[in-house]
């Protein structure tokens, strides 16, 4: 597993993360959840993502039961989120100071944790002043309830405004943005990624396989029994694509590239995103150990320019895959890539001359020229 420095923080996250959206307390029960998380940690995956609203708190509860007393807290980076309604209560929603404080205490209780590593504003709240939300996050950091705060699916101008307000007032800025991003949905390359890069905000993306469309399992419109696409309660975000012959045909064309580089369709789809500067981690929602192991194989893959051009031709986006984002000044921001990472037991070691040391981790950050 390879690791990347998250934006302008000192936090390192695995290139492949694991998320519990649509899986925990839905497709995945306690026994399977324990096997998946255990295997994820063995593979070097250290970023684990959830949210209070996933299965109305049940996903957090299940994850809390899996992690409680079984895994060293130092060995994983835990993220959860706040925004969506958790009841019919008028104040049990949004990003008001009250809801943020109520929600963090509820999440910590469900997760059986003393603190959260990354606490996301799950959406932008038009009804709450941004300053109120930012100040609430500052207080949670000072109280030790959270280590970092972030945003999810915020527009580029909203991210820039938040980062600018923090800089102007000496506040801790958002550490990370979590948008959807896949070969089928590359809109963030236009404005969101460059803005995050400029302000030192990391990018951890969700749905990198478009809920499974980019695994190739739905080739020809076939929907395997037991897959997410076959479950009406879970396929609402992919239903239209299951019958889109044009999209499924382009996914099938990826197989030719896969054959030349020894990857599966899923691995190629993930590896292509990891070539994009400014992207730090891809959250996969594997519902089995086998899927997780396959997805983890995308970490560290270096695709040729020829392969990237072929993928771009099939799934064009605002920016060439592997293209560089504009940098502001000479400071290191955005994506710092860990090269040639090996995991020896629980200790990631990055091989290079001129090391930086930090307790049990020996690291060197390479930056693109």
How many domains does one find in the chain?
Answer: 1
Domain that holds residue 282: 3-363
Confidence of residue 332 (pLDDT cuts 50, 70, 90): very low
- Domain assignment of residue 368, yes or no: no
Rounded to two decimals, the pTM is 0.84
- Domain assignment of residue 369, yes or no: no
Q: What is the CATH number of the domain that holds 132?
A: 3.20.20.100
Q: What is the mean pLDDT of the chain?
A: 84
Is residue 348 classed as helix, strand or coil in its secondary structure? strand
**The two structure tokens encoding residue 329:** 């000044």
- Domain assignment of residue 72, yes or no: yes
> What pLDDT was estimated at residue 55?
87
Contact 62, 131 (CB under 8 A): no
Q: Which residue has the higher pLDDT, 134 or 349?
A: 134
Contact 111, 80 (CB under 8 A): yes
Is the model's pLDDT at 243 over the cut of 90?
Answer: no
- Domain assignment of residue 156, yes or no: yes
Matching residue, tokens 């599966």 = 264
Contact 150, 175 (CB under 8 A): yes
Instruction: For residue 149, give the DSSP letter.
Output: E
Task: DSSP for 22-89, please give it.
Answer: TTBTTTB-HHHHHHHHHHHHHTT--EEE--TTGGGGHHHHHHHHHHTTTS-GGG-EEEEEE-S-SSS-
Q: How many H-runs (helices) and E-runs (strands) does the chain carry? A: 11, 15
User: What is the pLDDT averaged over residues 115-129?
Assistant: 98
Task: DSSP for 109-126, please give it.
Answer: HHHT-S-EEEEEE-S--T
Confidence of residue 330 (pLDDT cuts 50, 70, 90): very low
pLDDT in tens, 191-205: 999 999 999 999 999
Helix (H) or strand (E) holding 246: helix 245-261
Q: Which residue has the higher pLDDT, 231 or 253?
A: 253
Confidence of residue 72 (pLDDT cuts 50, 70, 90): very high
Residues with a known catalytic role:
54
């Amino acid at each position: 597993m390879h690791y990347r420095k998250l934006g302008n923080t000192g936090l390192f996250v695995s290139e492949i993360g694991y998320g519990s959206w649509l899986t925990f307390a839905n497709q995945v029960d306690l026994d399977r959840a324990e096997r998946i998380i255990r295997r994820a940690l063995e593979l070097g995956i250290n970023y684990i993502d959830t949210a209070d609203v996933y299965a109305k708190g049940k996903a957090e509860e299940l994850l809390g039961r899996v992690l409680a007393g079984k895994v060293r807290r130092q060995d994983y980076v835990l993220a959860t989120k706040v925004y969506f309604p958790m009841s019919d209560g008028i104040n049990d929603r949004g990003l008001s100071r009250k809801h943020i404080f109520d929600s963090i205490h509820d999440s910590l209780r469900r997760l059986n944790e003393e603190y959260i590593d990354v606490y996301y504003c799950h959406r932008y709240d038009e009804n709450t002043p941004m300053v109120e939300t930012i100040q609430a996050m500052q207080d949670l950091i000072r109280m030790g309830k959270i280590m970092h705060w972030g945003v999810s699916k915020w527009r580029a101008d909203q991210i820039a405004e938040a980062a600018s307000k923090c800089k102007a007032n000496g506040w801790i800025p958002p550490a990370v943005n979590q948008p959807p991003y896949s070969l089928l949905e590359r809109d963030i390359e236009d404005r969101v990624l460059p803005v995050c890069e400029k302000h030192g905000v990391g990018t951890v993306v969700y749905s990198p396989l478009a809920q499974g469309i980019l695994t190739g399992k739905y080739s020809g419109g076939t929907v395997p029994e037991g897959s997410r696409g076959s479950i009406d309660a879970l396929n609402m975000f992919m239903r239209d694509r299951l019958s889109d012959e044009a999209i499924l045909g382009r996914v099938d064309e990826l197989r030719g590239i896969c054959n030349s580089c020894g990857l599966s369709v899923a691995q190629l789809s993930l590896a292509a995103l990891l070539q994009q500067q400014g992207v730090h981690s891809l959250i996969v929602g594997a519902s089995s150990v086998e899927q997780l192991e396959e997805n983890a194989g995308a970490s560290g893959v270096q695709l040729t320019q020829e392969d990237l051009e072929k993928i771009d031709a099939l799934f064009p986006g605002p920016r060439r895959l592997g293209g560089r984002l504009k940098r502001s000044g000479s400071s290191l921001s955005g994506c710092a890539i860990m090269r040639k990472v090996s995991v020896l037991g629980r200790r990631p070691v990055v091989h290079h001359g001129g090391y930086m040391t930090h307790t049990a981790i020996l690291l060197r950050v390479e930056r693109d020229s």
